[in-house]
Structure 1
Amino acid sequence: MGGGPDLPTRAASKEKELVLCVLVWPEEQVEGPIKALKEAFKDVEVEYYHSKFENGKAEPVDVPEDTLRRATYLATHFWLPPSASAIPSTKLIQFFSAGTNHVSQHPIYTDSKIPLCSANGVHGPQIAEWVVMMDLVHSHSYTKLYDNQKKRVWDQKAGMNVSDRVGKRVGVLGYGSIGRQVAHVAKAMGMDVIAYTASPRKTPESKRDTGYIVPGTGDPDGSIPGAWYSGTNKEDVHEFLKQKIDLLVVSVPLTKETTHLLSTEEFSLLHKSNPRGTYVANIARGQIIDQKALITALEQAHISGAALDVTDPEPLPKDDPLWDAPNVLITPHCSGATDVYADRAFQVLLENIKREKSGGKLINEVNRKRGY
């Protein structure tokens, strides 16, 4: 019959796959990475929602049901839909955070098989700089010097108590991407590095970093540590802590097993093995350290000091005794911030979409049983 050409049916026209982004930056701040994503995949479109987040609290985000149903890939920091049934087309959830412990009780985590990937690796350079900065501030007595500057006091003696880093030992508790970049920088400063991981790393292949690596950083082949310790029980951790550590970097993921991993007994071991004092830097999660035991260890000088970017709880209440503990430096969970964070995280997302499409092994896929 007449009437012109047939209109294309929905089945005949291939609908673009949807990348749903629910992230903490205003969209105009990530126009570059979004453009790169669209250029890399001509068959995808992007819908963006700003998830406002401040001091540990996120504002609710209203994403239309139709958008959720269409989403093939979800990029998010914290936000998730109520259940997997709300996102029936989703093949991958890419978190822009290093860990996923904040969603470990969510039904999508516990009851679905949607692959979850972290942004582990994007934080290495800036957090390693934070760790080294804090260690140097401590070892060069800089807080005293700065206090004197504000009081306009010239006291040369206050700056004479210096312990340079050459020959000192860094113990990296959790040798992931952040720990590897700490090792990279520490080695350049002439420090000795020892590493600890839950699983044994006895072969060259097992020591490799298979996650995302910022080019030119880290320890891709795992060759930096002079010694490597491993295990999951207390005795294994204690053997590591007995190694006369000058700087202990806490960079393990938070799991049931690592909660209060460092407490009174562990601080006592550090003190016995290194009476001059271990400096503890925690950039992981506050709950990994028993905070009351930490305060006691600081007060009794069982450790030389602590640099904490994470606390338990967060935000740390104004009346918490940790604020007044001796030789402690506290920052508000900001060591991972950098002006190129979004660019790096979108690179992980782009690579994982590429691998999902080709059937390859995803980067940083979370093992739900292990918790990371």
Structure 2
Amino acid sequence: MMGGGPDTPSKQSSGDKQLVLCTLPFPEEKAAKSIDALKEEFKDVEVEYFYTQHENGKIKPLEIPRELLARASYQATLFWLPENAEALPNVNLIQFFSAGTNHVAQHPIYTDSKIPLCSANGVHGPQIAEWVIMMELVHSHHFPKLYDLQKGKTWSQKAGMDVRDRVGKRVGILGYGSIGRQVARVANAMGMDVLAYTASPRKSPETKRDHGYIVPGTGDPDGSFPSAWYSGTSKEELHEFLKQEIDLLVIAVPLTKTTTHFLSTDEFKLLHASNPRGTYVANIARGQIIDQPALVEALHTGLISGAALDVTDPEPLPADNPLWTAPNVLITPHISGSTDVYAERAFEVLRENMRRQRGGKKLVNEVDRDRGY
């Protein structure tokens, strides 16, 4: 499906412009600057934009004329797809504006076609790393207690005295992708020791490199921050990593069959045995990676010192779910990836993949359907 170069005719007639079909969850005006940049670089494209409105993860119905789908050379989307691949006979690739594609893993385009699917992995690192570090500092500096005192107009120094700063503490990053690498950069700057965990071994300099999209000036492009690397997909290999006296555990792995309930009671017990002071768990991946009832129990029994969760199981989290009232938990509604430059960064990934597709080069962030990411 890859072309030979910028001037190679498309599957449409050579006189037609190639269509970039955008089905995205923000108004077109928010993407106007990026669309202009795309048209400026690729003189032979036109853009059709559809605002896929949604609320708390539920999409409102969207109808797109079949003739537009049939003409599309590229689709940029977050979650909307046509019913099957036959509706996109001319598409070269589908660029998702999300870090993962597990939300469409059962869709016929995913399961029954060979259309290249690319994620926006790499655009989330800066803002999610800020969320992780913010939550960890809020916890270690007892800010929730102090804020409650402020609201009650109460001056009590004792409530904020037992602070453990981050220098010399250890962060274990479960999933050393673009998000994990930016967490590592910030944590390292704070004086923390960094441990990385990946599904496959990373023993050579080349395998430690980040080959995905990188926001300039961020991340860990050459994999230099971790003092040690751990790897594997089995519970035994995960347990070896969890035994390393981890102060902050950052969950940043994709959701797959292997990682579903990757952390449960046994894992929380290991964390406590290795670090009786308490491990703080931050999950910015997917809620199902943690066995949620086991997490609630671990919070109540003190197996971990606390948890910061931007994802839950299910979402939205029902009002009567016991996770809401568990001790030392901070919950946000799946917003850690939000930033005012999200559209700009994601369109940069699309443009890079259009360059690569037209030049016959390997796409960035192409999803391996067998691995699930």
Hey, what does 2:130 align to over in structure 1? 129
User: What is the CA-CA distance between 1:12 and the residue it aligns to?
Assistant: 7.4
Hey, what does 2:210 align to over in structure 1? 209
User: What is the CA-CA distance between 1:61 and the residue it aligns to?
Assistant: 1.2
CA distance in 2, matches of 1:279, 1:354: 42
Hey, what does 2:221 align to over in structure 1? 220
CA distance in 2, matches of 1:311, 1:77: 20
CA distance in 1, matches of 2:270, 2:13: 69
User: What is the CA-CA distance between 1:54 and the residue it aligns to?
Assistant: 1.7
CA distance in 2, matches of 1:198, 1:103: 22
CA distance in 1, matches of 2:26, 2:235: 41
**1:360 matched to 2:361:** yes
SS in 2 for 1:37: helix
Hey, what does 2:38 align to over in structure 1? 37
CA distance in 2, matches of 1:287, 1:244: 24
Hey, what does 1:103 align to over in structure 2? 104
Q: CA deviation digits over 1:337-364, x for unaligned, max 9?
A: 0000000000000000010000011010
* Identity level (%): 73
SS in 2 for 1:47: strand
Hey, what does 1:186 align to over in structure 2? 187
User: What is the CA-CA distance between 1:161 and the residue it aligns to?
Assistant: 1.3
Hey, what does 2:3 align to over in structure 1? none
CA distance in 1, matches of 2:119, 2:211: 13
Q: CA deviation digits over 1:179-222, x for unaligned, max 9?
A: 00000000000000000000000000000000000000000000
Larger relative contact order (CA 8 Å, sep ≥ 6):
2
Hey, what does 1:196 align to over in structure 2? 197
CA distance in 2, matches of 1:231, 1:146: 41
SS in 2 for 1:206: helix
Hey, what does 2:4 align to over in structure 1? none
Hey, what does 1:120 align to over in structure 2? 121
**1:254 matched to 2:264:** no
Q: CA deviation digits over 1:155-179, x for unaligned, max 9?
A: 0111101010000000000000000
**1:340 matched to 2:337:** no
Structure 1 pair 149/175, CA: closer, same or farther in 2 (3 Å)? same
Hey, what does 2:324 align to over in structure 1? 323
Tell which structure's C-alpha radius of gyration is larger.
Answer: 1
SS in 2 for 1:267: helix
Hey, what does 2:60 align to over in structure 1? 59
Unaligned runs of 5+ in 2: 1-11
Structure 1 pair 16/238, CA: closer, same or farther in 2 (3 Å)? same
Aligned amino acid, residue 186 of structure 2: V
Hey, what does 1:158 align to over in structure 2? 159
User: What is the CA-CA distance between 1:152 and the residue it aligns to?
Assistant: 0.4
Hey, what does 2:72 align to over in structure 1? 71
Hey, what does 2:148 align to over in structure 1? 147
C-alpha RMSD over aligned residues:
0.8
Hey, what does 2:297 align to over in structure 1? 296
User: What is the CA-CA distance between 1:13 and the residue it aligns to?
Assistant: 5.6
Q: CA deviation digits over 1:88-121, x for unaligned, max 9?
A: 0001000000000000000000000000000000
User: What is the CA-CA distance between 1:22 and the residue it aligns to?
Assistant: 0.2
Bigger drift between 321-330 and 50-59 goes to 50-59
CA distance in 1, matches of 2:30, 2:175: 33
CA distance in 1, matches of 2:196, 2:251: 11
User: What is the CA-CA distance between 1:56 and the residue it aligns to?
Assistant: 1.2
**1:238 matched to 2:239:** yes
CA distance in 1, matches of 2:358, 2:160: 58
SS in 1 for 2:208: coil
Q: CA deviation digits over 1:213-258, x for unaligned, max 9?
A: 0000000000110000001111100000000000000000000110
CA distance in 2, matches of 1:71, 1:250: 37
Hey, what does 1:274 align to over in structure 2? 275
Q: How many residues align?
A: 362
SS in 1 for 2:302: coil
Hey, what does 2:7 align to over in structure 1? none
CA distance in 2, matches of 1:54, 1:98: 19
Hey, what does 2:9 align to over in structure 1? none
CA distance in 2, matches of 1:61, 1:285: 26
Aligned amino acid, residue 229 of structure 1: Y
CA distance in 1, matches of 2:217, 2:110: 33
Question: Normalization by structure 1: what TM-score?
Answer: 0.97
Question: Normalization by structure 2: what TM-score?
Answer: 0.96
Hey, what does 1:8 align to over in structure 2? none
Unaligned runs of 5+ in 1: 1-10
User: What is the CA-CA distance between 1:281 and the residue it aligns to?
Assistant: 0.1
Aligned amino acid, residue 122 of structure 1: V
SS in 1 for 2:207: coil
CA distance in 2, matches of 1:221, 1:53: 38
Hey, what does 1:3 align to over in structure 2? none
CA distance in 2, matches of 1:192, 1:101: 31
**1:170 matched to 2:191:** no
